[in-house]
Amino acid sequence: MRYTLIIITVLSLLTSCSHGSKKVKEPQAKPNVLFIAVDDLNTWLGCLGAYSNAKTPNIDKLAERGILFSNAHCQAPLCGPSRASIMTGLRPSTTGIYGMVHDDKIRREGNPATQDIIFLPEYFKQQGYHTMGIGKLFHSHAPDSVFDESGGRVKGFGPLPEKRFVWDGFGTSDRKNYGRTSTDWGAFPEKDDLMPDYQSANWTIERLSQKHDKPFFLGVGFLRPHVPLYVPQKWFDMHPIEGIQVAPYQANDLDDIPSVGLQINDLPMMPSTEWAIEHGEWKNIIQGYLACVSFVDHQIGRVLEALENSAYANNTVIVLWSDHGYRLGEKGTFAKHGLWDPATKAPLLFAAPNLPKGKIIDVPVEMLSIYPTLLELCHLPAYEKNEGRSLVKTMLNESQPEVSSAITTYGYNNHSIKSDGFRYTIYEDGTEELYDYSTDPNEWNNIADVAKYQVKKEELKKCLPINSRLWDRHSNYTFQPYFVNQKKRTTGFDIKAH
């Protein structure tokens, strides 16, 4: 008996010594993920300076409890390719997805980059998560069977009045060949609960109130502030016209833009800034946009409150992102569609139990980083096909790249890079733009040909994609003559209506 006690004591001491003075912690449950996507949300937020008196108290509150990237950029200034990039972890130049693509056509044989890709929610499913999603997450909703539980999406961007209020959606465009947009603005409908985003929030809140036996990945994709800029009157009332500040604009701003850039920016179905000035609608359009932002902010607040009151409040990673920015008169129009800051820059926020709170990071980063960042925050193995880099070390101040950069691609071989206080853009024909934000924050003066900037330009050029894949056969953009022509010219394929 005495001999047995001695053996037990010795083994106990050896075990204690092998771990030093630290206690071995029980492995914690994998964190849940709340994945919030907002369509067409630019950086006019309270937490980013409240430009034009933007009112976003719930997004601001989320920024206070986590990390806000103030200089995050999309990989394409159009929802289809941007969301495909986020969900695959691949650049548009790798996949050839430069336009819209049906959710079920992203991953397919015939595209070597995507034929075996694991979508972001699928990766979590493979790691033992219960996956749920509602609303606009991919371009429409999601490919078949991506989510264990899907709430689907209400088709379109309604509800819609019988007649448009202001804009007909055609403008001066070729109606027969290029159709129209849903661009319009005004107070409609009467109540919030008639809006799909309200219903999406309800569905998400219900899932947060349920008991889940597995960690969950819960995605909610909100439609507003995507056009039409319709929300109930009370949201317009929050933004009186007299308090609205218009965006920076110069009538001759496009005089130094190369031909391809002008073609990309030719959006006759959208209201132009000159039209808005002439008809006294500029502030009304901005009011409609801000009203939609405040409405969707409220829906986000409802979801965050439900999480806070749930059993998952202390073990959930939150990410909020938008697929691109939105121009509200900058560079002559009201649209995304461009390789300039107002179109490429969008909010990106992370909140998690072990992340700092109330921190703003100003270096350029990419939406492409969402996939690998979520994996690291959830202590999951890295996915080797991800082309973005995790932002966790940056958020924790463990390391910072010497030069942080963000690349946006719009169509085949049109690339723009934001880095080191500059934006450099090169179009498919080799023409260029260069902007120095220290002297030109509005991107009004193209200095690509100025001698003293040639070294900087060459440095930035080295960071751009070396190879670009031609247009994927199933990726189209029928609203824009330039993209219709570029796809046919470079691949021989006619763009089909998507």
**How close are the terminal C-alpha atoms of the chain, in Å?**
81
Please say if 141 is a catalytic residue: no
In this structure, the number of other CB atoms found within 10 A of the CB of residue 125 comes to 18
**Phi and psi torsions of 360, nearest 5°:** -115, 130
Count of all residues that appear for the chain in the document: 498
Please say if 139 is a catalytic residue: yes
Angstrom distances, CA of residue 333 to CA of 183, 255, 336: 12, 15, 9
Q: Which of 130, 139, 239, 474 is catalytic?
A: 139
Which of 47, 108, 122, 106 is closest to 361 using CA atoms? 47
Angstrom distances, CA of residue 156 to CA of 182, 202, 228, 270: 9, 19, 10, 18
Q: Which of 79, 141, 298, 337 is catalytic?
A: 79
Answer positive or negative: Cα dihedral of 483, 344, 230, 51: negative
Token pair for 276? 């808005």
Token pair for 399? 């390391």
Beta bridge partners of 231: 187
Count of alpha carbons within 13 Å of 133, Cβ hemisphere only?
A: 27
Which of 34, 118, 38, 119 is closest to 74 using CA atoms? 38
Q: What are the residue numbers of the active site?
A: 79, 139
